[in-house]
Amino acid sequence: MLRKEGFEVAVAATGPDGLDEFERNGADLVLLDLMLPGLPGTEVCRQLRGRSNVPVIMVTAKDSEIDKVVGLEIGADDYVTKPFSTRELVARI
């Protein structure tokens, strides 16, 4: 969906793969799911924050207030719950 909007996209299926991709190629923005295999999104966010100030938008099905607060407190710049529209996500980007 983001490619259709003109964005260059790199995808990683696990937390460790995402960190490796970021180390190799960097990014202007990270869309981060909380429920990743191998390393939870919260830990990926913590590690990213230790290395970079890249903007992080958490994209997740976890929609409780505490999940949102924790995500923002560990360093996410924004928090979007599924389902969401492409239009909303692009506006946030």
- The CATH code of the domain that includes 53 is 3.40.50.2300
Is residue 1 over pLDDT 90? no
Average pLDDT over residues 29-33: 97
| Average pLDDT estimate for 50-59 | 97
- Structural domain contains residue 28: yes
Looking at the structure of the chain, the number of domains it has is: 1
Q: What percent of the chain clears pLDDT 90, i.e. is strictly above it?
A: 99
Structure tokens at 7: 């964005």
pLDDT of amino acid 84: 94
Taking the C-alpha atoms of residue 91 and residue 88, their distance in angstroms, rounded to an integer, is 5
**79 inside domain:** yes
Tokens of 37: 């295999």
In the prediction, which pLDDT does 26 show? 96
For residue 70, the Cα-to-chain-centroid distance in whole angstroms is: 14
In whole angstroms, how far apart are CA 17 and each of 24, 37, 59, 65? Answer: 10, 10, 17, 28
pTM exceeds 0.85, yes or no: yes
Q: What is the mean pLDDT of residues 57-67?
A: 96
Asked whether residue 54 is domain-assigned, the answer is yes
Q: Is residue 49 part of a domain?
A: yes
Rg (Cα) of the chain, in Å, rounded?
12
